[in-house]
Structure 1
Amino acid sequence: MGSPEQIQGWIKRNSLERPAAERPLYVAFLGRTSGDEQQDPTLSLPRQLDNCRRGLPDGAIIVAHFYDVESGRMELAKRGKGKSLKRFDIPIPRDGGLNDLLDEAEREDRRFEAVICESIDRVARRTYYGTRIEHQLEECGIPLLAADEPISLPTPGRKAKKATVVLTRRVKQGVSEWYVLEMLEKAWDGYAIHTENGFNIGKPCYGFMARLVPHPVPKKRDKGAKKTLLAPHPVQGLVVKKIFAWRVNELLSYSAIAHRLNEDLDTNPPPTPVDPSRAVGRWTGSSVREVLTNPKHTGHMVWNRHARKSGHNRLNPPSHWVWSPEYKHEPLIDLETFVRAQEVPSRSKGSRPTSLPNKHPQTKRVYRYRSYVFCGFCGRRHHGKTIRGFAYYVCAPRKEYRRDDHPASLWIPEAKITEALNDFLATRVFGRYRRDLLGAGAGNIQAAEARERASKMNALRRRIQDTKDRAKRLVRQLEFVNDDEDRDLIRDVRQRRAELAAERDELETRLRNLELEDADQPNGALLDALPVGIADLDTLDDTVARRLFEALRLRIVCDTRDERKRIRCEVTLTGDTMEGATQLGKELLSGPQESLGAVTKQSGLLPGPRDGSMPSVSQAGSYPSWPCPWQDSNLRTRLRRAVLYPLSYRGQRDETLQQVGRWSYGGPVPDPPPAWCVRVRAGHGCHGG
């Protein structure tokens, strides 16, 4: 009910504003459409604007246009920042996007008094974001209108009717969000089945080419639609195998592999990105990483590795990947090689893979053992430092990252590392008596363990075959059973058959674990494949020396946790790396095999007894391969510090050798050490600051 006529006349005479019926309502248009291939923003946005104009009450004028071409499920902070809008020529003047509309709504000099959209789902596809935008506009005194809803504006003395409008809007928002989620879930499931059937999505990855097959749907097949399977590329497939071999066998970094590939681009053609204009014409570390991390090279089809829409191409965890259960195309590498490539230790992360100096203008020298020296306290890699012309390798972590027992700084002279490494290579790697140092007792223990494993595997195979036979006998019993009369028997047989299947699966899992354990056994015969001779690191070029270190997978650990400050050298030999290590050793070693007496003398190792006792000076030369006294320039006899350690092994079977394994120096210190543990760690001084 309105006020009395006298009051209305008084309000009209004293009002500085025009009556509502005579004043236009200034409105801002808010539009949104997706930029996907199935939508056309040049048609959708003009349609939305026309519907908004028809839904406005008389006297309302659209004075500003705000719209975006993007997904309605996007977070508010990211709205309006996409590049899809630049691809279209939309015949509507644009004053900005959604965030620009909200910014202007908070200003006193805003141009509009209300905002209108075609439908509330054009504001956002998520109810939370839609209601948040609506609430933010209401706090500024601006109503959010929708052309497909009843529009109720306030009249003098009355508030606008909102109850029915809010109910209708919330129902529509809930239905809109449900529709989008259901569509995404069904599409995701469809892509998963598509992947499990072996069909590729997008451009074939490097190493494969597309093999088109007719579409399974008849109508689409009649229109010429096809689906894509993968087939090995005759040239790129060989490059992929080469990349994985370098990564697994030589532990090369991405940039080091790219450097090798770029030496012959005709044989190793670089990949071409989806957008050819972005091609650089050579291999890069990122392109090598993409090859090494793509599981499609294993013959399985894989999807959902990247969150391309929701996560801006972020890499999903492997547990979210969708794999085809079986091989769907010819594999370029096996699953074991792929897993090993992913597990290559990142010991060289942050360190240059070549022996070239740093590009910094103040660089004066290079450090030969860069990326190979590690701290025995914290496991961090040492960095090089030169003081008064002498090179050191330093571990000096920041105080907040330093353990209580870690010295403030740990300095290792490069000369001490070279001396220890020369001795180590001359005796333990390229020495004549390296097999004696490895020990015969270890072989006896390994043979006994191998026989025990073989017995267990044979027993498991017999049990697996027994479960299969029992399952077959159960099936034969069902051939003469009447379904109507013996339902209980059928149920019991099916239940028992399921139990036998579960038992067989468990036995097969145990058998596979034993087979993997059997394949991962040591083989000291790997040492016999290495040449015999002297490797003098002082005479080797830095580039050649680093090639040798990589082939042997060298690791130098500086341990000063007790009074005997030691430098521990470790190498790992595998069946995959033996060919390269052997060939490189033959090129680098100097001196004929007859001069191995010099090796023994140089390394400070002379023959000694095998009963665990240290030899006397008079016994020197009586026994092969044992630490013994040596004399300095003052003819003072002293023993070079030596400690016995057990050997640790890893390995795998190979077609060319009966058994090929990884052989590496390492392991905890036994107390007392067994006689067959013959790893020697030569002690050299370390400076702790």
Structure 2
Amino acid sequence: MSTEDFQDPETSRGWHLLRAQALVAGHGRVTAKFFDVGHSRVLPWPRRPEAARLIDALGDPDRDFDAVVIGSSERAFYGSQFAAMAPLFEHHEVRLWLPELGGPVDPSLAGHEELMILLGILSKREIARARLRARTAMTVQAREQGRYLGGRPPYGYRLADAGPHPNRAWARRGARAQRLEADPTTAPVVSWMFAQRRSGKSTARIARALNDAAVPCPSAADPDRNPHRSGGRWTLTAVGAILANPRYTGRQVWNRQRTDQELIDPANTALGHRGIARWNPPQDWIISREQAHPALVGEADFVAVQGMRARTTAPGRTSLLAGLLHCGVCGRRMDSCWSHDRPAYRCRHGRTSATGPSPGRTRNAYLSEDRVLARLPALLLRLAPDTEPADPEAAASRLRAENVTLTYDPADQILTAGTATGERIRIG
């Protein structure tokens, strides 16, 4: 049973057991029970705790059962899971009993094997239909009704009662709908952030101002809904996420993220898939036609802020050594930058733009690219004496191909090249 929030586990366990007992009546009795709660049928057996315990029990020579009876085949076998489990049952000489057959499965019979394939397909189809119906309904609820569909309220909002639940059965049980309303403490902060960005302030400057003013960041303002966050301080990512969230215009937005299924181990497909959350492109977002909650920023200002993305690299600017240079002070990879109209690299030793510099911190390290390019021919000759002279771009590509890293010591202004074999060459 996967939806423990909407079902009674004891009732579900009871009808599974009742069907199993009726199936084996006169043939045997139930000696052990394996019932997973809160784990989807999509998961293969080794990844369901109780099903995995059953697999371990199959290999126990002192087990007190010689057959496994399934109360609901569609809950037990999804897709091709039976084909993966059948050899294990056969190896341990354990019969499998199913209600659809009224008795044990005989893999040697073509009809039984075909039925198990069909049941797996039907189980998969049931999940696909439920998912399609739910997504279609949520699309209508978000776009046409502007309904709040759950999840953490965005920073700047809080949940408020919206009357009886639209589902009459749920309403009769006392369920209430919810909506977003402006939080009197955090909503002004959001409006201020948009105003600052609209006036040309960078996200880094906004984050620094919030941290300097000791304004609680989103995870600190609502720790109960953010147990996975540290709640330390504002970051550039947090500021950028707020400035890019269209829900602050007062419209409900759904489907900004999706979950892709990827194989856990391509070499062992029996382990199944895992969900990977990814952002959908804006054209796939579902946005309400009308405003559904108080707006914290005007739509015109929101659109203008989206067009103020900072450009990390200007047209025509390239950094040939990006990723190759490391700082000799802290060991971090040096960032590409542009200094005095020339490509350069810097290291801030872990300091971020969201915090002001401490008085005693180590000064930033800067290195212009032309100083490094002048030393590359000598470096290549030391690495491979028979190397033909190469232009800077080819030399940088050669270093990447041979996993050579360059470490810069700003105190002595010396470059040290480290090869994949651990050999280090000083070229300054």
TM class, shorter-chain normalised? Answer: 0.5 to 0.7
Separation in 1, partners of 2:339, 2:32: 66
Find the counterpart in structure 1 of residue 303 from structure 2: 336
Aligned with residue 255 of structure 2, among 294, 304, 315: 304
Contact 2:260 2:276 in 1 (8 A): yes
Find the counterpart in structure 1 of residue 153 from structure 2: 204
Find the counterpart in structure 2 of residue 516 from structure 1: none
Q: How does 1:236-635 map to 2 (within 5 A)?
A: 236-245=186-195, 249-253=200-204, 257=207, 260-261=210-211, 263-265=213-215, 270-275=220-225, 283-285=233-235, 288=239, 290-307=241-258, 314-319=277-282, 320-333=284-297, 334-340=301-307, 343-345=309-311, 373-374=337-338, 381-383=345-347, 393-394=366-367, 403-406=393-396
**Structure 1 residues 392 and 268, CA, compared in 2 at 3 Å: closer, same or farther?**
closer
Report how far residue 337 of structure 1 moved.
4.3
Report how far residue 68 of structure 1 moved.
1.7
Any stretches of 5+ residues in structure 1 without a counterpart?
1-32, 81-95, 154-158, 348-361, 365-369, 415-687
Separation in 1, partners of 2:60, 2:221: 52
Q: Please tell me the residue identity of whatever aligns with 2:185.
A: V
Q: Please tell me the residue identity of whatever aligns with 1:47.
A: W
Report how far residue 160 of structure 1 moved.
8.6
Task: Select the structure of larger CA radius of gyration.
Answer: 1
Aligned with residue 149 of structure 1, among 91, 97, 101: 101
TM norm structure 1: 0.40
**Structure 1 residues 210 and 298, CA, compared in 2 at 3 Å: closer, same or farther?**
same
Q: Please tell me the residue identity of whatever aligns with 1:382.
A: R
Find the counterpart in structure 1 of residue 353 from structure 2: none
Report how far residue 272 of structure 1 moved.
0.7
TM norm structure 2: 0.61
Find the counterpart in structure 2 of residue 489 from structure 1: none
Q: Please tell me the residue identity of whatever aligns with 1:200.
A: Y
Find the counterpart in structure 1 of residue 140 from structure 2: 193
Separation in 2, partners of 1:97, 1:403: 58
Contact 1:258 1:283 in 2 (8 A): no
Report how far residue 297 of structure 1 moved.
1.4
Contact 2:34 2:50 in 1 (8 A): yes
Any stretches of 5+ residues in structure 2 without a counterpart?
262-273, 314-327, 350-361, 381-391, 400-404, 412-426
Q: Please tell me the residue identity of whatever aligns with 1:50.
A: L
Separation in 1, partners of 2:217, 2:17: 57
Find the counterpart in structure 1 of residue 15 from structure 2: 47
Find the counterpart in structure 1 of residue 320 from structure 2: none
Report how far residue 195 of structure 1 moved.
0.7
Separation in 2, partners of 1:188, 1:34: 18
- RMSD (Å) for aligned C-alpha atoms: 4.9
Q: Please tell me the residue identity of whatever aligns with 2:157.
A: F
Aligned with residue 50 of structure 2, among 94, 97, 102: 97
**Structure 1 residues 78 and 317, CA, compared in 2 at 3 Å: closer, same or farther?**
farther
Contact 1:152 1:160 in 2 (8 A): no
Separation in 1, partners of 2:35, 2:286: 37
**Structure 1 residues 229 and 57, CA, compared in 2 at 3 Å: closer, same or farther?**
closer
Q: Please tell me the residue identity of whatever aligns with 1:182.
A: R
Separation in 2, partners of 1:149, 1:74: 23
Find the counterpart in structure 2 of residue 439 from structure 1: none
Q: Is the partner of 1:302 in helix, strand or coil?
A: strand
Report how far residue 186 of structure 1 moved.
0.9
Contact 1:306 1:313 in 2 (8 A): no
**Structure 1 residues 138 and 204, CA, compared in 2 at 3 Å: closer, same or farther?**
same
Separation in 2, partners of 1:263, 1:252: 15
Deviations 1:332-367 (A, max 9, x none): 2333245247x44568xxxxxxxxxxxxxx979xxx
Report how far residue 185 of structure 1 moved.
0.6
Q: Is the partner of 1:403 in helix, strand or coil?
A: helix
| Larger mean Cα displacement after TM superposition, 103-112 or 298-307 | 103-112
Q: Is the partner of 1:53 in helix, strand or coil?
A: helix
Separation in 2, partners of 1:314, 1:152: 41
Q: Is the partner of 1:60 in helix, strand or coil?
A: coil
Contact 2:58 2:92 in 1 (8 A): yes
Q: Is the partner of 1:301 in helix, strand or coil?
A: strand
- Give aligned-pair identity as a percent: 18
Aligned with residue 183 of structure 1, among 130, 149, 152: 130
Separation in 2, partners of 1:250, 1:292: 12
